[in-house]
Amino acid sequence: MANSEMQLVSRIIHTGELHVALEWGLTESDFRTSEGKGLWNAILAYYSNPETALAVVGPRLFKNMFPHVPLMADPTVPTLALCYEVRKSRVEAEAKAAAMELHEQVEIDPQEAIDQMHSTMSRLISLGTTKNTDLSLSASLGSTMQRYQYIKVNGQSANAKLLWPWPELDDVTGGIQKDDYIVLYGRPKSMKTWALSAILGAAFHQRKKVLIYTKEMTQDNILMRAAACAAEVPYQEFRTGKLDHDEERRLYTLIDMARDEGFDPICLNGRAAKGGDTTAWIHAKVEKYKPDIVFIDGMYLLSIGSGKKVANWEKVTEISRGIREMILATDTPAVCTMQANRGAAKNASANLDEIAYADAVAQDATAAIRVINEKAIQPHIGVPTIAMLFGGSREFALHGIRIGATPATDFRFKEIMTERDILKASEGDVGDAEAEDPKAHSKPRVVRKPKTAPGPGENALITEQLKNNLYPTS
């Protein structure tokens, strides 16, 4: 067997990275030997079988299936490089064969030989030795069905980069996916940064590597909010040094877990970058730290590369495009905060033209969520609440949810919002001088029975260590 083929097969067996080779564009035709072709087809058949959907043959199972085939894994060569070597060998072999055929045929029929050579070379040029970025229907549907089988077996949130703090959103969205660009926007004092902090706390419980950018507040401040949400300790008491013993112990346990278990959130200092905090700068940080998700507090405060002064909408357009490109290039979703403009007062829903400065944010975002700090306590809930209204979601339809608004001990789900709820929340989002009679959605919303909110301190995703240390039973 050609060395590059055996190397690739061995790498796939040892790492399970069959999906990398498939995404790169390798097919059965890239394997030049009958043995390489047979092993590739066997691995792919196991991966595609409904009974073993998306499972990759491991070293022990491979030895049982092919006891006389040695594995030659080389840990120093990445899977992508081996894909390149296999494709390169194919292109070289087919080019040499075409040249030999031309030499044999040119004396018999020069024009036919040249035409055939041109056709072969065009095909090889199109094939290339780089990752295939063109996509056919069959290839797309094939990968889609593989994803479907995986979700069917493991649940719709299995592919999520991060689950929401509110399972009701996971039921609709399948969690935050690798290409998601989530924008939380609202008027000043809307608690949008607190909503971001609640998601940060959920990321900690799920052991996700997190990268945070802030310029509106200090690094300590936003990390303090995230820690309060993760440990569910009252923020005011945390800020003023009035926590009780158990609450203090929760925070010390968080420190130990973050330090020892390899998922310590990292916060970038936008102020210290002195104008260098561009989307390219954040992109480089993502490449460096390899986070599962990025949080950008105040995305409109990012800098742009050019030193010239531009209008706010031009600046935000460039920033938004850069964030979107970063997400797609790195498969790392981003959750950002943004201001809502004064026009939000005119709307009873989360209309995308409420986002301040640029239409580009509404165009680029996969989900735009208007955050409203509700001033009146809902009688049937009895605690302060935040309304989260959904506009411009590309992959799901959900109009709004209501969550708790007690920093940072109660951001739990309260209920699905009705049309009337959303209208009242929107009217209360601005001062009397700004308010106008908003028009309701033309499409009525489905009123669902509120789900029971989890009890104090509960978190379905919290680790056993956190349960034992943060919430002792004795």
Give 3-state DSSP helix, strand, coil % of the chain, rounded to 5: 50, 10, 40
When comparing pLDDT for 348 and 203, which is higher?
203
pLDDT class of 438 with cuts at 50, 70, 90: very low
pLDDT tens digit string along 17-36?
998 888 788 888 889 888 99
Asked if the domains at 3-149 and 167-470 fall in one CATH topology, the answer is no
pLDDT band at 445 (very low <50, low <70, confident <90, very high): very low
Whether the predicted pLDDT of 390 surpasses 90: no
DSSP class per residue in 214-230:
ESSS-HHHHHHHHHHHH
Q: What is the pLDDT of residue 447?
A: 42
pLDDT of residue 196: 96
pLDDT at 424: 82
* Whether the predicted pLDDT of 347 surpasses 80: no
| Band of pLDDT at residue 112, cut at 50, 70 and 90 | confident
Fold classified for 3-149 = DNAb Helicase; Chain A (1.10.860)
Class for the domain spanning 167-470: alpha beta
Q: How far apart are CA 258 and CA 226, in angstroms?
A: 12
Which tops the pLDDT comparison, 228 or 356? 228
d(CA 392, CA 399): 10
- pTM here? 0.63
pLDDT band at 237; cut points 50, 70, 90? very high
Tokens 């299936």, residue located? 65
- Look over the chain and give the mean of its residue pLDDT values, rounded to a whole number: 81
Rounded to the nearest 5 degrees, what angle is found at the Cα of 65, between the Cα atoms of 63 and 68?
60
Could you state, in order of their start, the residue ranges of all structural domains in the chain?
Answer: 3-149, 167-470
Coil, helix or strand at residue 96: helix
